[in-house]
Amino acid sequence: MAFSRESLPVLPVSAVLPEIGKALAGEGRAVLSAPPGAGKTTLVPLYLLGETWRGDGRIVLLEPRRLAARAAAGRMAELASEPVGETVGYRMRLDSRISTRTRIEVVTEGVFARMVLDDPELAGVAAVIFDEFHERSLDADFGLALALDVQSALRPDLRILVMSATLDVDRVGELLGNPTAIESMGRSFPVDVRHSDRPAGERIEDTMARAIREAHASSAGSILAFLPGQAEILRTAERLEGRFGPDTDITPLYGNLTQKEQDAAIRPAPAGRRKIVLATSIAETSITIDGVSIVIDSGLQRLPVFEPATGITRLETVRVSKASADQRAGRAGRTGPGTAIRLWHPGQTAALQAFTPPQILSSDLTALVLDMAHWGVKDPAGLAFIDPPPPTAFTEARNLLILLGALDESGDLTENGKRIRSLALPPRLAAMAVAAAAEGQALEACLLGVLLTEQGLGGQSPDLEDRLRRFKGEKGPRAEAARRLAMRLAETLQPGARKTEEAARPGALLLHAFPDRIALQRSGRGRFVLANGRGGELDQTERLSAAEMLVVADLTGRAAQPRILAAAEISRAEVERELKPAIRREEQCLFDRDSRQVRARRVTRLGALVLEETPLPRPTGSKAAKALADGVRLLGLAALLFGKEAGQLRDRIGFLHRALGEPWPDMSDEALIARLDEWFEPFQHETRGLDDVKSGSLTEGLMSLVPHAVSRDLARLAPTHFEAPTGQRHPIHYDGAEPLLSIRVQELYGLKVHPSVGAGRLPLVLELTSPAHRPIQTTRDLPGFWAGSWKDVRADMRGRYPKHPWPENPADAAPTTRAKPRGT
């Protein structure tokens, strides 16, 4: 190696390098917090090469992205005056530049997890450095948990350093056992943070293009603009095309670009020229774009959100965290004073989350569960995670692996699971390759698997048959590296694997990866329903939109607007041949919403897909009753015609529940729907439709909910009628908050006690009416009314109804339903 510690450049982190070395020598663990520009990514690994505890062991540096890994390795190799691959090298999925002389390996986080799983002792590794840990990728969290496990159980001499620009030091420190926490100053110049609020309804690319034009015209230097994704970057580039002179270059920077295109974006602009770099979060950390003095931040990022119920990951555009916003702004002050323009109102900054949510909380955990099983851990509590995996997502991942044959019912790795885990592919695609190898189609399956994991290969068509054909003939180093990877994977499964003359169709291969995403066309061209119950749509101009059946490899969007991103056509015969055990034939009773009737059919189904159905005679019995209950759940309790008697019974029991509580049952809609199997289904065995439900059966059903011990008290506690002093019976209404009796006031003359129910404990609300049945007073205290406001009511009523008796003391008068006799 052609350099010594003394030859390293002096950067802010230089001041704490001895402290880092001392902490790792003594405690074996340390946490470093260093802002952008401190030099931690390049100087820390190089400095640690000189530590005596390292011996001849390698230092492994983890980076969150391939671009960052290549850039870090290149910068360290430059400081060592060596080419990459000598003292400093890198390893990633499609590219590797290391040798027997390499002592600093820069690897992507996923590569490190596989290194540990394949060699639990990490032989020859002296230290592991987790860079930019604040990004909290799933691979980084899992990698740290594995490294801590290795250090505790197998390699107490292994050193672990976690470092970041915006680190939640307390939580990370607690996970590591509270080791030495080291803080470095940064090298940054003043950054003038400004805000330019985006007008309501304006597309982000329109706001961004305008902000870039204004900044370009008013300031010197190159511009780095952060946008949420590739689509917004391309649309912004379209809006900027032809707006600047020949001295300004517009370069995109996102994950799907080739290495050459990414390197061109981060390369400094030539003398006398300016650059406008349109980037995703890929440019947020780990790399420096020299010459940038202006940062324009959309404040948006695109994060994957996994839905365990459907097994689908969708991308969601969300606001960045406070930490990310600060990181982005800091990019303007890396090489000199700069300006950061935020395209949001300044008051919104306070509402931003402190940190970007950890991926482990919203990711597909299938690969994690498979790797944990390989490590011998079934329960996440057995590893040191900062944030444990969500139980629902963990269980769904485990169930999928059982379905794929990778785990047995107890959660142990099967022989098939070992083969699946050995491949550098996601578990679904690895299962496809393993199944294909048994049919002599390993290479074709591995080509398809690599195509699906490397965005942009073979074009952007949703038709995987078309994309696979293009990928096989695609030129360029990335495509060639991807094909070499596919060949290596195929060789491990099927030695001597080579392309056969009749390669399997992509759809037939994908059946083994996505059996839950077989899709059947519904309601016309381009609209499909998947076996997992979710819908999916294709543009009607796409060839696949006319297919009867598809297998969907990628889907995005919310439930209301799902969009199929990648799929292949499949035939019914192929589905029945390959997934025969999963296809069910059964007789069903279903509720038909349109007719409100129960229908019966014999169906052949795959998950939520009905492949074939034959109508059967309309059924009765318990199955029909259950289907009717499903109809009530679908339409609500209002779909049932309770009738007067059943309705009043429900009101009376409901009143007693509210007034007296248990054992009187709850009669609310929610409670009754929850207990349909108790009071509805047993009384509908001869019923075929909701319109055929008899009110009497509902009365019987409701009474069945009342315990026999108290049923005889119903009439006493909540009578249906009140018998007035005149002998007339008047209905009591229990449908309101309190029981109500509407009655002409003359019928209550002579009554000195207020009417009540509930064995005298619950007063009725009396709606006292005139002889014409118009309300004149409401009271809960009849004696008080007689002694109080009756005087005013009497004066008014005597004038209006002179033919009716209006005694001064009604409590002592005779009740009546008639007018005064003539002549009185």
Q: pLDDT tens digit string along 104-156? A: 999 998 899 999 999 999 999 999 999 988 888 899 999 999 999 999 999 99
Asked whether the beta carbons of 12 and 6 are under 8 A apart, the reply is no
Instruction: State residue 501's pLDDT score.
Output: 45
Residue 250: band (very low, low, confident or very high) from pLDDT cuts 50, 70, 90: very high
- In this structure, are strands 312-319 and 300-307 parallel, antiparallel, or unpaired? antiparallel
pLDDT at 239: 93
Question: What tens digit of pLDDT does each residue of 374-420 get?
Answer: 999 999 999 999 999 999 889 999 999 998 899 999 999 999 999 99
- Identify the bridge partners of residue 341 per DSSP, sorted by sequence position: 194, 296
Task: Quote the pLDDT of residue 608.
Answer: 84
> Across-strand partners of 32?
163, 182
Select the more confidently predicted residue: 249 or 355. Answer: 249
Query: What is the spatial distance between Cα 80 and Cα 30, in angstroms, rounded to a whole number?
Result: 25
Distance CA 326, CA 471 (A): 40
Does residue 479 carry a pLDDT above 70?
yes
SS3 state at 35: coil
Cα–Cα distance between 15 and 186 in angstroms, integer? 11
Domain ranges (residues) in the chain: 5-183, 191-357, 361-494, 634-716, 720-812
Q: Which residues share a beta bridge with 721?
A: 731
The two domains 191-357 and 361-494 share their CATH topology (first three levels equal): no
- Judged against a pLDDT cut of 60, whether residue 502 lies above it is answered with no
Over residues 657-662, the mean pLDDT reads 91
- CB-based contacts of 597, cutoff 8 Å, min separation 6: 591, 618, 688, 689, 690
- How far apart CA 515 and CA 553 sit, in angstroms, is 10
Question: Which residues, including other chains, have CB under 8 Å from residue 823's CB and lie 6 or more apart?
Answer: none
Q: Which residues contact 763 (CB under 8 A, 6 or more apart)?
A: 754, 755, 756, 780, 781
Locate 576 and state its tokens. 């029945």
What's the mean pLDDT when you consider all of the chain? 89
Architecture of domain 191-357: 3-Layer(aba) Sandwich (3.40)
- pLDDT-above-70 percentage for the chain: 97
* Greatest CA separation for the chain: 132
Q: What secondary structure, in 3-state letters, does 610-651 show?
A: EEEEEEECCCCCHHHHHHHHHHHHHHCHHHCCCHHHHHHHHH
Confidence class for position 317, pLDDT limits 50, 70, 90: confident
Identify the pLDDT of residue 310. 66
Residue 821: band (very low, low, confident or very high) from pLDDT cuts 50, 70, 90? low
Give dist(CA 466, CA 460) in Å, integer. 10
Return the pLDDT at 819.
77
CATH 3.40.1390.20 for domain 361-494: no
* pLDDT class of 663 with cuts at 50, 70, 90: very high
**CATH architecture observed for domain 5-183:** 3-Layer(aba) Sandwich (3.40)
- Write b or e for each residue in 611-645: b if 16 or more Cβ atoms lie within 10 A of its Cβ, otherwise e: beeeeeeebbeebbbbbbbebbeeeebebbebeee
Q: Are 267 and 283 in contact (CB under 8 A)?
A: no
Q: What is the rounded CA–CA span in Å between residue 508 and residue 550?
A: 10
**Cα 153 from Cα 366, distance rounded (Å):** 26
Record the tokens describing residue 570, joined without a space: 């499949």
Cα separations in angstroms, 630 against 122, 626, 633, 675:
57, 6, 5, 12
The residues near 466 (Cβ < 8 Å, ≥ 6 apart) are 458, 459, 543
Convert the pLDDT of each residue in 596-644 to its tens digit.
999 999 988 888 888 888 898 888 899 999 999 999 999 999 999 999 9
pLDDT tens-digit series, residues 30-59: 999 888 778 899 999 999 999 999 999 999
Q: Count of alpha carbons within 13 Å of 69, Cβ hemisphere only?
A: 30
742 C-beta neighbours (distance < 10 Å), count: 16
